[in-house]
């Protein structure tokens, strides 16, 4: 018996020391791939918050971007989910559909919620519930390689401003040089829904119950891109490569234009300094409506949290004007709070490319919207895959554009009906 | 020491397998009958998930692709067995080639995937460049079905043959030299020795490789995930289909049903292999 106690006691001591309560309320806060780059920033704001709130302990956990959903699901299954999690607004409809997210309206006063950009807060609102606080934002700009343009006999004036100009430019550039002008994911993670939105072509009705992207206008607009692909004006793999690869061919010096977020400028600078030197910036390419996409990163509070008020207060602290402005100065991102966006940092041009990218994006930000309305549906992933596959089928000649879109519309209506 | 004592040594392994293999396996079977929602709770749906599976054309394509993918098994066996026959003796040259052929096995799949992607790249890849040198049209190695499935199969064979080669060499080394020498004295040619002496004596090893490579082929995922992640679901195999539903769409009930089908297929195919090879025969 003594021997048994001899083995058990040290284990018991270790267990007790691990589970020793500090008497503080612990808030677990997950971010997406921000460590180690922003460690100092987070440590600083967390230390400050803890000093001001002696009863609160913040447990900051950084998760790789691609793993967040799996980690979140497994933490819920294991019964230890975080209180706050940084999510892309694209995922909110899914988690909101699962009733996993708390409503900030019940936790924070309107006076605080009104501080955020209306278009950003709109992206976080589902069924009249604010399911997340908007955090850092991004929008789209056009990067172009002045050297490649010069070699092809183009000037700055020829840089396209609209999608119809872009299609003409892509053809002309390839005809002149034999090279691709542009890489755009039209199949997997297709940007075509964004383009349709900007052209003012709705993919589905307001109540998200009926798809409509097989209208003559939609078919003709999409067919322009299918023709570009079939006739060899777009890289072969642009129908299967995921959206995250959009920058690759530009920074490899293989294409002259890239349509992406200003945040990628730093990556071009690090990975391809020669391309960076020749890079210039123009506002986002748009369709007939002139609208462009807003990308929102936000902080959601899980319904399972046992400290909702404390967690909501901390989420507000992280997203307040002062902290967001500080964060934005560390990367080319934009704040979701009106006051922070008014800061001269987003208007003063110091002549650098970064400043130009920052100002170009900031000017667009208040008018950027969610162009892909289907993201509001909890089964947006099924809808997205169905649309993507229809584009792949059309591009590979398995069916005409009209047939492919007709089939996808049938699939969409079936999915949308499920959730009516 | 009592007679039961040695069996106690099984306990740690059994406990480990129980916790991390048998229990999850039973759970997956249970989940396959649920509409699983991690946040709101689950509901029992009977065989609905299975009915839905077999009425989904993408699942049927994935099933077909998994069966097509089994073609890598005979290819792997033929290549690795032939090479094993050549590299059977141990000398400096065979040691070098054994190490060389084993390199793909130890190369991390992510790295291998990246350079195979470069090889298969349709606009800038080396394969299409070679084809253009002899005025042949470009091949859609990654975008077009079923060519893209065959591209993945090439990578699977490239990655796997070195592993099975070593198993075959180990099997060949265990065959007594005297038997072959006796056959030689009786006038048997090299081919006759291989057909009538080596292959029959190597049958248990061939069976092992057959079961291992076919179940690995059915379970294949990583190559698909790295080489052609963006192609339609109907271009993928069963494991990818399961992954998509369970871990990307979070439909764990439906994903579990797909997992059960994969198990039945792998288990059934292994039993079939053993039966066909007479693996339950004591003489083998």
Question: Are A188 and B229 a contacting pair at CB < 8 A?
Answer: yes
**Which DSSP symbol is given to B235?**
G
Nearest to B58 by CA among B249, B222, B215: B249
Q: Please identify which residue in the block is written with the tokens 């079936």.
A: A414
B37: distance to nearest CA of chain A, Å? 7
Tens of pLDDT, residue by residue over A215-260, are: 999 999 999 999 999 999 999 999 998 887 889 999 999 999 999 9
**Is ipTM beyond 0.90?**
no
- Min mean pLDDT across A180-184, A415-419, B176-180 is at A415-419
The 3-state DSSP class for residue A252 equals coil
Nearest to A240 among B39, B142, B247 (CB): B142
Residues of B in contact with A101 (CB under 8 A): none
Closest A-chain CA to B234: A389
The 3-state DSSP class for residue B195 equals helix
Tens of pLDDT, residue by residue over A342-366, are: 999 999 988 899 999 999 999 888 8
CB A391 within 8 A of CB A222: yes
Residues of A in contact with B138 (CB under 8 A): 236
Sketch the domain layout of chain A as residue ranges.
Answer: 22-137+294-363, 141-293+369-418
Question: Are B230 and A240 a contacting pair at CB < 8 A?
Answer: yes
pTM: 0.86
Q: How far apart are CA B223 and CA A409, in angstroms?
A: 32
Question: Are B39 and A188 a contacting pair at CB < 8 A?
Answer: no
Please state whether the peptide bond connecting residue A36 to the residue before it is cis, i.e. omega within 30 degrees of 0. yes
Q: How far apart are CA B26 and CA A284, in angstroms?
A: 52
A61 close to B (CB below 8 A): no
Nearest to B231 among A240, A254, A382 (CB): A240
Round the average pLDDT of chain B to a whole number and report it: 91
A124: distance to nearest CA of chain B, Å? 19
Domains A22-137+294-363 and A141-293+369-418 share a fold: yes
pLDDT of residue A74 exceeding 90, the answer is no
Pairing of strands B34-35, A125-126: unpaired
Superfamily of domain A141-293+369-418: Periplasmic binding protein-like II (3.40.190.10)
Tens of pLDDT, residue by residue over A359-392, are: 999 988 888 999 999 999 989 999 999 999 999 9
Q: Torsion angle, CA of A156/A160/A161/A162, rounded to 10 degrees?
A: 170
Identify the residue among B232, B244, B248, B251 best suited for mutation to test binding to A, counting A beta carbons within 10 A and taking the highest: B232
- Min mean pLDDT across A6-10, A72-76, A374-378, B66-70 is at A6-10
pLDDT of residue B58 exceeding 90, the answer is yes
Q: What is the pLDDT of residue A17?
A: 46
Please state whether the peptide bond connecting residue A374 to the residue before it is cis, i.e. omega within 30 degrees of 0. no
Q: What is the pLDDT of residue B194?
A: 86
Tens of pLDDT, residue by residue over B117-165, are: 999 999 989 999 999 999 999 999 999 999 999 999 999 999 999 999 9
A352: distance to nearest CA of chain B, Å? 34
Q: How far apart are CA B35 and CA B185, in angstroms?
A: 69
pLDDT of residue A20 exceeding 50, the answer is no
Q: What is the pLDDT of residue A263?
A: 86
Q: Give residue A33's region: left, alpha or beta (phi > 0; psi -120 to 50).
A: left
**CB crowding A252-290: b at 16 or more within 10 Å, else e:** eebbbbbbbbbbbbeebbeebeebbebbebbbbbbbeee
Question: At A8, is the pLDDT very low, low, confident or very high (cuts 50, 70, 90)?
Answer: low
Nearest to B101 by CA among B176, B51, B158: B158
Residues of B in contact with A385 (CB under 8 A): 233
The residues on B that touch A, with CB distances below 8 Å, are 37-40, 121-124, 138, 140, 142-144, 228-234, 247-250
Q: Which residue has the higher pLDDT, A162 or B4?
A: A162
Question: Are A303 and B144 a contacting pair at CB < 8 A?
Answer: no
Nearest to A100 among B39, B143, B249 (CB): B39
Question: Are A98 and B38 a contacting pair at CB < 8 A?
Answer: yes
Q: Given 3.40.50.300, 2.40.50.1020, 3.40.50.720, 3.40.190.10, which CATH number is that of A22-137+294-363?
A: 3.40.190.10
Tens of pLDDT, residue by residue over B69-112, are: 999 999 999 999 999 999 988 899 999 999 999 999 999 998 99
Q: What is the mean pLDDT of residues B225-237?
A: 92
- Sign (positive/negative) of CA torsion A305, A306, A309, A314? negative
Question: Are A254 and B250 a contacting pair at CB < 8 A?
Answer: no
**Which DSSP symbol is given to B280?**
T
Question: Are A381 and B248 a contacting pair at CB < 8 A?
Answer: yes
Q: What is the pLDDT of residue A10?
A: 54
Pairing of strands A279-283, B34-35: unpaired
Domains along the sequence of chain B with CATH: 46-276 (1.10.3720.10)
Q: What is the pLDDT of residue B179?
A: 87
Tens of pLDDT, residue by residue over B257-283, are: 999 999 999 898 888 888 877 655 544
């Amino acid at each position: 018996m003594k021997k048994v106690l001899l083995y058990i006691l040290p284990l018991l001591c270790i267990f007790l020391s691990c589970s020793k309560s500090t008497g503080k309320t612990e808030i677990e806060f997950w971010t997406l791939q921000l460590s180690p780059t922003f460690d100092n920033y987070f440590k600083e704001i967390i230390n400050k918050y803890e000093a001001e709130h002696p009863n609160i302990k913040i447990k900051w956990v950084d998760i790789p971007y691609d793993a967040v959903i799996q980690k979140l699901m497994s933490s819920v299954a294991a019964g230890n989910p975080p209180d706050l999690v940084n999510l892309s607004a694209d995922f909110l409809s899914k988690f909101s559909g699962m009733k996993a997210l708390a409503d900030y309206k019940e936790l924070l006063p309107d006076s605080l919620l009104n501080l955020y950009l209306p278009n950003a807060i709109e992206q976080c609102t589902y069924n009249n519930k604010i399911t997340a606080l908007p955090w850092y934002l991004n929008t789209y700009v056009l990067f172009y390689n002045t050297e490649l343009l010069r070699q092809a006999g183009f000037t700055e004036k020829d840089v396209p401003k609209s999608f119809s100009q872009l299609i003409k430019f892509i053809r002309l550039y390839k005809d002149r040089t034999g090279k691709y002008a542009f890489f755009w994911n039209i199949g997997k993670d297709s940007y075509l829904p964004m383009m349709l939105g900007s052209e003012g072509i709705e993919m589905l009705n307001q109540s998200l119950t009926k798809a409509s992207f097989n209208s003559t206008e939609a078919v003709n607009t999409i067919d322009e891109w299918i023709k570009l692909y079939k006739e060899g004006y777009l890289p072969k793999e642009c129908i299967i490569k995921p959206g995250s690869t959009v920058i690759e061919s530009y920074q490899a010096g293989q294409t002259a234009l890239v349509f992406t977020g200003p945040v990628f400028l730093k990556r071009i600078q690090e990975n391809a300094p020669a391309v960076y030197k020749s890079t210039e910036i123009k506002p986002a390419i748009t369709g007939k409506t002139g609208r462009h996409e807003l990308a929102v990163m936000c902080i959601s509070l899980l319904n399972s949290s046992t400290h909702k008020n404390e967690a909501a207060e901390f989420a507000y602290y992280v997203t307040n004007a002062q902290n967001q402005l500080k964060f934005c100065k560390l990367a080319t991102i934009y704040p979701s709070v009106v006051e922070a966006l008014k800061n001269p940092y987003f208007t003063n041009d110091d002549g650098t490319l970064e400043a130009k990218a920052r100002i170009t994006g900031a000017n667009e930000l208040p008018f950027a919207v969610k162009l892909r309305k289907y993201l509001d549906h909890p089964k947006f992933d099924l809808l997205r895959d169905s649309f993507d596959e229809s584009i792949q089928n059309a591009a590979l000649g398995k069916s005409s554009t009209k047939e492919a879109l007709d089939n996808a519309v049938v699939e969409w209506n079936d999915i949308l009906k499920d959730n009516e | 020491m009592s007679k039961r004592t040695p069996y106690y040594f099984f306990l740690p392994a059994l406990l480990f397998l129980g916790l991390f293999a048998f229990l999850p396996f039973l759970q997956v079977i249970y989940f396959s009958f649920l509409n699983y929602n991690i946040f709101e709770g689950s509901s029992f749906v009977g065989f609905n998930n299975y009915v839905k599976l077999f009425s989904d054309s993408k699942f049927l394509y994935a099933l077909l692709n998994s069966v097509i993918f089994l073609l890598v098994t005979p290819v792997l066996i033929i290549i690795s067995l032939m090479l094993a026959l050549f590299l059977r003796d141990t000398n400096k040259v065979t040691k070098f080639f054994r190490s060389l052929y084993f390199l793909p096995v130890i190369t991390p799949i992510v790295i291998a995937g990246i350079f195979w992607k470069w090889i298969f790249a349709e606009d800038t890849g080396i394969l299409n460049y070679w084809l253009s040198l002899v005025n042949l049209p470009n091949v859609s190695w990654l975008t077009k079905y079923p060519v893209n499935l065959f591209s993945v199969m090439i990578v699977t064979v490239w990655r796997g043959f070195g592993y099975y080669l070593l198993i075959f060499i180990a099997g060949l080394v265990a065959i007594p030299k005297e038997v072959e020498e006796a056959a030689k004295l009786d006038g048997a040619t090299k081919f006759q020795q291989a057909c009538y002496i080596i292959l029959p004596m190597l049958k248990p090893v061939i069976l092992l490789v057959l079961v291992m490579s076919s179940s690995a082929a059915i379970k294949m995922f990583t190559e698909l995930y790295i080489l052609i992640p963006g192609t339609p679901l109907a271009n993928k195999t069963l494991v990818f289909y399961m992954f998509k539903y369970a871990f990307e769409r979070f439909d764990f009930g439906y994903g579990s049903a797909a997992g059960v089908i994969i198990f039945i297929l792998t288990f059934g195919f292994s039993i079939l292999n053993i039966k066909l090879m007479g693996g339950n025969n004591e003489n083998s």
